[in-house]
Amino acid sequence: MAARKRAIVITGNGTNCEMEAAHACRIGGFDEAVIAHISELLSGEISLDDFHFLNLTGGFLDGDDLGSAKAQANRLKNATISGSSEKLVEQFSRFIADGKLILGVCNGFQLMVKMGMLPGFDGNYLNQTATLTYNDCGRFQDRWCYLKTDPASQCVFTKGIDKGIYLPVRHGEGKFLCDTPATLERIETEHLAVLKYSDSSYAAPTMAFPENPNGSTNAIAGICDPTGRLMGLMPHPEAFVHYTQHPRWTRETLPENGDGLIIYQNAAKYVSERLL
């Protein structure tokens, strides 16, 4: 019997979108998508070692106290698994070292950045060098955005996307910032800025509002680590996997698959080819 491709979606402490993320994994090609409460990981009831693809979803972790996802980042770095001397962060580190995939969406992207998993230079996934902070407009944004891809990127998730994709955003803290100009330069020169806000032509990144809904540095909407296996983005791919989720589906003839589905299909293909 062929090995099963297994995805895990972490929920709890204010996340949402877990049902949508699990559904996207299943229709994208995973045999199983388990929704696990963070307490199940901390109790040792569930282990990341048993999965191939980790999903960190959107939401409002811990009410966004201390800033979006910061409290959860501190928790995951320091919490010890019940009945064990192992810290949960050691499972994260082993998961990455084993060549597996992690996708952080919206609050999940904020979590990955604040843990240090992204951009993850030189294999250091616990050193924070960037952040996501309050939108320049000073208010929550709920709209659809055009996202230009970087064809030179090694990102597993965006392979096959020729120009760009159209996805919704819904966030109040989506402005991407780096700690130093050197960090930003390295992200750009190593082609880690895999998605940038653009207009409908996908011709060039834009800083213009509302196409760039948050004022993000260099119009960055999503980044990956140097291996291409870890990715975070503010837009929601799980929210557009079928044409009926498109805002104009009753007025336009659209393909059955939504733009976000390819991200999960690419993950499933990678697992099939590399990990099974």
Give the residue ranges of DSSP H helices in 57-207.
70-78, 88-97, 107-115, 181-189
Instruction: Please say whether the beta carbons of 210 and 141 come within 8 A.
Output: yes
Query: What Cα–Cα distance (Å) separates residue 95 from each residue in 124, 171, 209?
Result: 14, 28, 38
The CA R_g of the chain, rounded to the nearest whole Å, is 17
Q: Which two tokens stand for residue 79?
A: 């919490």
Query: What Cα–Cα distance (Å) separates residue 201 from each residue in 24, 127, 149?
Result: 26, 36, 12
For the chain, first and last CA: distance in Å? Answer: 12
248 burial level (CB within 10 Å; 0-12, 13-18, 19+): exposed
The angle that helices 88-97 and 70-78 make with each other, rounded to 10 degrees, is 90
Give me the active site residues, please: 106, 236, 238
